[in-house]
A and B are shown apart, each in its own frame.
Chain A
Amino acid sequence: QKEVEQDPGPLSVPEGAIVSLNCTYSNSAFQYFMWYRQYSRKGPELLMYTYSSGNKEDGRFTAQVDKSSKYISLFIRDSQPSDSATYLCAMRSIQGAQKLVFGQGTRLTINP
């Protein structure tokens, strides 16, 4: 079993819809949780980062962490075609420096 599980999709939704992306994990030592966006033929870019449990909002994006359930989510409101990309969750422990453990990535398409 992988340390981080993420449904690879693909996920296709109409423009303007609310998108929910999720990951589960097994390592209770993980304290830092990130979401990366990766466009085709590009490297991953950091979208959101959360420390421990809670919510974080940045514009149309909201990240949620539920450590008790070992479950993290990314919500995208008012989705745009430009949001079409692969979304990767990643996490690490406090001692783990930047030894990030990534999920498989979910391929998202927003249809105009």
Chain B
Amino acid sequence: GAGVSQSPRYKVTKRGQDVALRCDPISGHVSLYWYRQALGQGPEFLTYFNYEAQQDKSGLPNDRFSAERPEGSISTLTIQRTEQRDSAMYRCASSLGEMNTEAFFGQGTRLTVV
């Protein structure tokens, strides 16, 4: 596609429910990253992939958060048993390779846990 596509754009869920956020990176981009951005803050790193391999998941807050990219393209970030503190903008980015300096960000998924 022309850019990084994330879906849904907005997600409201009840506390305790599981949610899955989807990222479709730019075609041909090897590296894919997940960030979380709270209102008025900069993005905070969660995890990243090269192809289908998860290279670093040190930013995932706890074991309720997981991510996968099974075929090296589309990625899913899953949050289990959501809590109100999980409410934030979740942003995906992709780049040609991990040493490429330019990562292109998607428009994000705004998650609200009520």
Chain A residues close to B by CB (< 8 Å): 4, 6, 8, 32, 34, 41-46, 49, 88, 90, 97-105
Contact = CB atoms under 8 A, between A and B. Distances in A.
A66 to B, nearest CB: 20
Contacts of A4: 42
Contacts of A49: 101-102
A45 B105 contact: yes
Given A43-B107, A100-B43, 9 more contacts: A41-B107, A42-B107, A43-B4, A43-B108, A44-B105, A45-B104, A97-B99, A98-B31, A99-B45
Contact of A98 (B4, B33, B40, B42): B33
B75 interface: no
Interface stretch (B64-72, B77-85, B90-98): B90-98
Contact of A44 (B43, B44, B45, B59): B43
A29 B40 CA distance: 26
B62 interface: no
B35 to A, nearest CB: 8
Task: Name, among A43, A90, A101, the residue most crowded by chain B CB atoms within 10 Å (CB to CB).
Answer: A43
A46 B103 contact: yes
Interface residues of B, number: 29
Contact of A100 (B41, B45, B100, B108): B45
A6 B43 CA distance: 13
Contacts of B107: 41-43
Interface in B50-73: 55-56, 58-59
A104 B42 contact: yes
A8 B40 contact: yes
Contacts of A44: 43, 91, 105
A53 B43 CA distance: 24
Interface string B1-40: 0001000000000000000000000000001010100001
